[in-house]
Structure 1
Amino acid sequence: MILNKHSDSANTDSRRHLFGTFAGVFTPSILTIVGIILFLRTGYVIGQVGLASTLLIMAAAFTLCLLTGLSLAVIATDIRVKEGGFYYVISRTLGPAFGGALGLTLFLSISISVAFYVMGLVEVLNHLVALPDWLSVRILACAITVVLFIFAWLGADWTTKLQFLIMGLVAGGLLSFFIGGGMAFSQQTLAANWQTDASAEQFWLAFALFFPAITGFTQGLNMSGDLRAPHRAIPKGTFAAIGLSAALYVLVALVLAGTASISELTDNYYIMADVAMWAVLVAAAVMAATLSSGMASMLGAPRVLQAMGGDKLIPFLVPFAKGEGQDNNPRRAVMASTAIALLCVIIGDLNLLAPVISMFFLAAYALLNYATFFALHSDNPFFRPRFKWSHKIVSLIGGIGCVVAMLAINLIACVIAIAVLFGLHQYLARSHQHRSFTDHQRGALFKRVRELLFELNSMEPHPGDWRPHMLVFSKTPERHKQLLTFSAVLEGQSGLITLTRIVNPQHADEPEQQQILKQYQQAIDDTDVRAFTLVMQASDFQSGLRHIMSAYGVGPITPNTALLNWTSSNDSKQEHSPEDYAANFLEMIKADINLVALASARDPLFAKEAPAKGRKIDIWWRGGPTARLMLMFAYLCTRARGWQNTKLRILTEAERYSKQQVQDIFATYLDNVRIESEVEALDKVDLDSIKRYSSQSELVFFPIEVKEDEIVDSFEVGLQSLVDNLSNLVLVKASKSMQLDPDPDNGDDQKEG
């Protein structure tokens, strides 16, 4: 079966026309870099800031290229980069929210860039040939866009074949320029053009003008789904394109600086054609390179949209996932890209969008560098890139460099681009909860949690560090939601909850473990409570209980509280007998686990929406650790959503004190522990007084004592009578001392009354 499965996959790939390094990566990348800026703007940059500053600008730009290329090589040699290019890499590394935000903006940017390239081509044509009156610039641009659409509709195979012809034309134009420039080269002219009196502002304007030239070095990544071996083709083709294009730009700059004056370089965009031996070849090269850049963008943008549609991140993009033919050509996405490009051509004025689009490309490079740093830093054992000639610090420097370039080129456009990306990221993070692919986020979180656990374990524990870590035992499915919701109220957004069940696999009526976990997860989803789940198999409840309490947790994170249902003896859904409760509670106390038993029959009791009259929690105070634990839990309840305005009330027996003395004692104590509560001192606590005071309260915390074979209430009024007469009862027993106001300097020695 395994051999057959792999054979089918291989046959499927063999039916597609896949490209190698030269045709699939190097050619589209080099033709996009060696484009209109090389031929029409390099001379202008030299004229503005001089040759020395131009070489510095080129060095900075291509250094960012190289750093990003190294990051790209690391990512591309770890995973098989499928359809979607940048989107695929970012979504599988940083997650769908980052990937989706970047993918959508890149699709729009690449589609709009088609219009830029087409308008640039029309500008060259209009300069070389006088257009007839009936043929306006916009009509010609629309016609060229339709031609690009036809090639993209036919598929990448047709377009790639055409790129070989374009590469020949570009090579011919450059050869003509170098021959003519070599004949006219002058060292005196070169020295005169070495430096100008350009200001820092002019330098950054020149940098902003030049930088878009190198944004095409990742065109091969956009074609990742059409490559035969992406993990080999992408690094090799990208590095080759960066190296050759950097050499060409430097050579062109040197020749231009040695053959033309500053005024000629500044005023004449077509200076390369004037310097060349055969000007027509340079003109043909400019048009061919610009057309090639437009075609590469027309091929790349639809594949990003197709990949996003396939991942179903945004519902209205799903139809664009459909491809046509054995090459899975994204024709629906091609139509979308063409529509955007045509709209931009018709509008005509693209200067407003140009800076923002450049920012999106730079943001993509920054995120690619960060994604590589993120993956390397996570120490994920499954991240095993074949490319070893890089380091996570290199990727981090590349990412920072891209952000610096964004800020330097256009601050306003940078802020707009970041705001758009942030908004899309937040939308996707909130709307897309489930995903069908993995990324490195979980691995990075695991590493961080691991480091924090070791750090936490190295610290000396202190009473002030106490947080409720609850094991919530729930057997009856009908009570899962109530117990889970109550546990969320009880921990007050400060602790941990684990929904727990012990099953005996020898009993035929016990449900399967997966069935229980499914029920638990459904309860978690329905209540929107953050909790873990645990199902333990044991021959009996007590042995399973001992195992959980001794083994559950990691390092210093161990459970300290058990929460379960307490049911009346006449309840048909009773989960434990009184003797079982006593035995189980004793096991928990031996393990230093606090006990909380919910005896409430009010299903809507723990709704997040507070009643109009407000809520009240009663604490029946008998003193000692249990009383303080109940007060802590009552206070934590007031931090839960919907319970913030709940009033606390302490009820106690005056005993040998007067009621005023009791009030004074508690006023001082509550002030020390900084918890607000009313205090009621009763002459005697009996069942009638308990019912009279607490029957209408939302929660009633009541202390209990655990004996060998029974559980009794601390006021000795009859536990079963309390359970039968109150529908809002919470029974509590502390396993050890609880301090509500520990001294940070001497917490262990401090005593509370």
Structure 2
Amino acid sequence: MTENRRNGTSSGGHSFGTFGGVFTPTTLTILGVIMFLRFGQVVGQAGTLNALLIVLGAKSITLLTSFSVAAIATNTQVKGGGAYFLISRTLGVEYGGVIAIFLYIAQATSVALYVIGFTEAFVGTFPVTLSFRLIATVVNVAVFLCVYIGAGWTIKVQYGILAVLVLSVLSFLAGALPQSSIETFRANLHSAYLPGQSFFTMFALFFPAVTGIMAGVNMSGDLRDPGKSIPDGTFAAVLFTGAIYLSMALFLGASRPQEALIHQGLIVREIAWSPLLITAGVFAATLSSALGSMMGAPRVLQAFAADDVFSRLRPFAKGSGPAREPRRATIVTFLIAQTAIVLGDLDAVAPIITMFFMVTYGTLNLACFLEGITRNPSFRPRFRWHHWALSLLGALLCLAVMFLINVLWAAVAILIMVAVYGLIGRAEVLAAWGDLSSGLAFQRARWALLRLEKERYHPKNWRPSILALSGGAWSRNHLAEYACWLSAGRGVVSLAQILFGDVEEFVVRRNEAERLLRRHIQEEGRAAFPAVVVEEDLGKGIKTLLQCHGIGGVRPNTILMGWSEDPRRVGLFGRTLRLCRAMGRSVVVVRYDRRVERNDEEAPKGSLNIWWREPHNGALMLLLAHLMKQNRIWRNHPLRILCPVPPRADRENLTAEMTDRLALARIDAEIVVLPTDDPLSALRAEVVREPFAALFVGFEPPEEGHEEAFIDRYRPVTELPGDVILVSSSGDVALEA
């Protein structure tokens, strides 16, 4: 394996180091147009104290995000796409796609921000008669051509720009130091906001100045060692530029009155030791930031297109030359930037970019938080200075600042995010990489299981956890179907198959049987789990399933099986019923009437009947019948309770008692009282009068040696037309709960 391949770079591509590939573009993007053209206004309106808080607050968000970026970048083989790659390989393709779109638009629009800033400085320095937008367009074309030639050329240009920028900052500090005074500093400590402005509008205006931490991350596909360069270069740039902004805020507040800071756009040039160096610095900063964004944005689009999330973006995945330069994506980026130049201005564009970057940073922090809190064993970043609490704090700060800046734009950004997430989710993209979703689901399941283990059982929390002895399911599909109907999406269904033989010899066959059963479940669209065991005979297999299947609070509480009159299995059938009840499981036995015509869209015609003889099994029958009616195909079937009573019984009192029971259970049903000395004959007559689709009948398991008598007792019921569901309750259901 070559070094390039090991670090995720393509053969023949660029191999930039920490300084050239991360520190330089990050620093140049951070020390951009806002520093020279708008930072004086921020200090003037907010006051020196609040300006320092704005810088520290903005830097805190980017620093916390840098911790998350460093952790994720040192935990995976980083390839092209920057933040999109990191998030898509952590939170999944849906979140990654959302961030790809937000980050790409933010950076493409940032090009316009920096070009507008350059043009503003150019017009303020040189007396020209050309229109502002024409000059901005020419600059945008020049930036586009530099990047279109290739990233290698652009990086070399940026070394020279960095030198000019450092000299311009030193020039400002050298000029501000002798002009500073304690009196001016004290006078500028507190805010002097213009009408309609506030701390948070100033924060929104300033925040794009610190968003450059993605400039290095977006070059991930062109780095020699992304796992080392991204954290080292990003932290160095954040700390270096943070020191510059804090020192500039102090010297601005100490060298000029607030009125001048607010209304003079290029106040930095007036203060500096050499105005020429400031002019050169403004040009260098704005051009370098524009170059950095013009380089980074197309690489995000190229990586997103390469994952084939949206087929229409597929052409942008193509790269040019041995370095796979994203030239098609660069053209689109140029057009977006040009549109923003024509439509916008510096103060209008900055808050929108802030919102897009806030979403990106918040999601990056969320990704790292979820990786840490779920304690995913695969999350083993080489960067040790991180903790899930820092990532959570970063995510919450991003969300809070979004709404504090502008509630409407924050809500719009989140709605767009949800819409894009849903669009990608509906596309059902099959990602070829692992993400956090399965790990997060596992950890949630673990927490829930441990909580259930500590909770005392209460009938109010009863849910059907059904183990269906359905065999391969395709041969007894009706049992799998009934198991899902009776759970109605409220519980857990397991479809069990027993293979006969020695487990050591049948390992391969067992695995294959489980794979086929799982595929059948998916093809049928059932919410169920496969359970396959190997035992010497059916009886031992059932014992194994009853003892071992399930975990904690989601062990099966109900066993579902088919009705059997096979003389060879009558004894086993009876023993299984007794074993289930002895182990505290309720039992549901389905006699499936194959004479009834059916289709996948509708249930058999007729009502859902409950043969109510006593309340012990009746409570579970009523609840299961209610759950069946929650399924779409059973929703319009009437629920009827058939109550056989002696002819001289108090029918009104019995009806009132049953009505009260139904009211207590919050279940609607028709009560049919059948006065009779022969309940079975009354049942047959009622079935002739009102055919049923399914009939629930209570039973008790037969005593040992009385299995054939048990079959004979229930044969007249199981021969009725329609499905018969025999129910034996373990007593853990209470209708009033």
TM-score calculated relative to the size of structure 1: 0.88
Q: Deviations over 1:105-152 (max 9, x none)?
A: 11112112212222222222222234455xx43343333333333333
Picking from 661, 666, 673, the partner of 1:680 is 673
Equivalent residue letter for 1:155: G
2:700 pairs with 1:702: no
The secondary structure found in structure 2 opposite 1:94 is coil
Equivalent residue letter for 1:625: H
The secondary structure found in structure 1 opposite 2:203 is helix
Equivalent residue letter for 1:267: H
Equivalent residue letter for 1:728: D
The residue number in structure 1 matching 2:645 is: 654
Picking from 37, 40, 48, the partner of 1:40 is 37
Structure 1 residues 481-492: aligned runs within 5 Å: 481-492=477-488
Contact 1:489/1:606 (<8 A) preserved: no
Picking from 202, 206, 217, the partner of 1:206 is 202
Equivalent residue letter for 2:79: K
Structure 1: state its 5+ residue gaps.
745-753
Structure 2: state its 5+ residue gaps.
none
Higher deviation after alignment, 347-356 or 520-529: 347-356
Equivalent residue letter for 2:673: E
Report the CA distance between 1:246 and its aligned residue.
1.4
Q: Deviations over 1:586-615 (max 9, x none)?
A: 44334333332331337875856679xx86
The residue number in structure 2 matching 1:747 is: none
Question: What is the distance in 2 between the residues matched to 1:689 and 1:207?
Answer: 78
Q: Deviations over 1:625-683 (max 9, x none)?
A: 33433222112212233434432212243246537265455334434444333223152
The residue number in structure 2 matching 1:271 is: 267
Q: Deviations over 1:226-251 (max 9, x none)?
A: 22222221121111111111121223
Structure 1 residues 227-626: aligned runs within 5 Å: 227-348=223-344, 354-432=350-428, 434-476=430-472, 478-479=474-475, 481-505=477-501, 512-566=509-563, 577-598=569-590, 599-601=592-594, 607=600, 616-623=607-614, 625-626=616-617
Equivalent residue letter for 1:35: G
Contact 2:619/2:735 (<8 A) preserved: no
Higher deviation after alignment, 169-178 or 494-503: 169-178
Q: 1:615 to 1:431 in 2, by over 3 A?
A: farther
Contact 2:472/2:517 (<8 A) preserved: no
Report the CA distance between 1:31 and its aligned residue.
0.3
Q: 1:288 to 1:526 in 2, by over 3 A?
A: same
Structure 1 residues 25-174: aligned runs within 5 Å: 25-133=22-130, 136-174=131-169
Contact 2:498/2:532 (<8 A) preserved: yes
Question: What is the distance in 1 between the residues matched to 2:508 and 2:599?
Answer: 28
Picking from 664, 667, 672, the partner of 2:659 is 667
Report the CA distance between 1:19 and its aligned residue.
1.4
Contact 2:176/2:255 (<8 A) preserved: yes
Contact 1:704/1:714 (<8 A) preserved: no
The residue number in structure 2 matching 1:731 is: 726
Contact 2:502/2:535 (<8 A) preserved: no
Contact 2:102/2:359 (<8 A) preserved: no
2:171 pairs with 1:176: yes
Report the CA distance between 1:416 and its aligned residue.
1.5
Contact 1:608/1:641 (<8 A) preserved: no
Report the CA distance between 1:340 and its aligned residue.
1.9
The secondary structure found in structure 1 opposite 2:674 is strand
Q: 1:603 to 1:172 in 2, by over 3 A?
A: farther
Q: Deviations over 1:472-531 (max 9, x none)?
A: 222355446543332222113321101211112569999943443344334433443321
The secondary structure found in structure 1 opposite 2:384 is coil
Equivalent residue letter for 2:29: T
Higher deviation after alignment, 510-519 or 380-389: 510-519
Equivalent residue letter for 2:684: I
Question: What is the distance in 2 between the residues matched to 1:634 and 1:711?
Answer: 27
Report the CA distance between 1:546 and its aligned residue.
0.7
The secondary structure found in structure 2 opposite 1:562 is strand
Equivalent residue letter for 2:284: A
Question: What is the distance in 2 between the residues matched to 1:479 and 1:407?
Answer: 57
Q: Deviations over 1:410-450 (max 9, x none)?
A: 22222221221122223334443643222233333333332
Q: 1:566 to 1:181 in 2, by over 3 A?
A: same
The residue number in structure 2 matching 1:628 is: 619
Q: 1:406 to 1:480 in 2, by over 3 A?
A: farther
The secondary structure found in structure 1 opposite 2:380 is coil
The secondary structure found in structure 2 opposite 1:600 is coil
Contact 2:358/2:398 (<8 A) preserved: yes
Report the CA distance between 1:361 and its aligned residue.
0.4
Q: Deviations over 1:151-197 (max 9, x none)?
A: 33333222211111111221232233333334544454444444455
* Residue correspondences, number: 729
Contact 1:500/1:533 (<8 A) preserved: yes
Contact 1:588/1:594 (<8 A) preserved: yes
Equivalent residue letter for 2:253: A
Report the CA distance between 1:48 and its aligned residue.
2.2
Higher deviation after alignment, 595-604 or 420-429: 595-604
Aligned-residue CA RMSD in angstroms?
3.4
Report the CA distance between 1:41 and its aligned residue.
1.4
Higher deviation after alignment, 117-126 or 326-335: 326-335
Contact 2:28/2:288 (<8 A) preserved: yes
Aligned-pair identity in percent equals: 33
Question: What is the distance in 2 between the residues matched to 1:449 and 1:252?
Answer: 51
Equivalent residue letter for 2:543: R
The residue number in structure 2 matching 1:748 is: none
Question: What is the distance in 2 between the residues matched to 1:433 and 1:173?
Answer: 49
Contact 1:68/1:369 (<8 A) preserved: yes
Question: What is the distance in 1 between the residues matched to 2:322 and 2:66?
Answer: 31
Report the CA distance between 1:67 and its aligned residue.
2.3
Report the CA distance between 1:42 and its aligned residue.
1.8
Higher deviation after alignment, 37-46 or 308-317: 308-317
The secondary structure found in structure 2 opposite 1:218 is helix
Report the CA distance between 1:617 and its aligned residue.
0.3
Q: Deviations over 1:667-703 (max 9, x none)?
A: 3443444433322315224479537516732212234
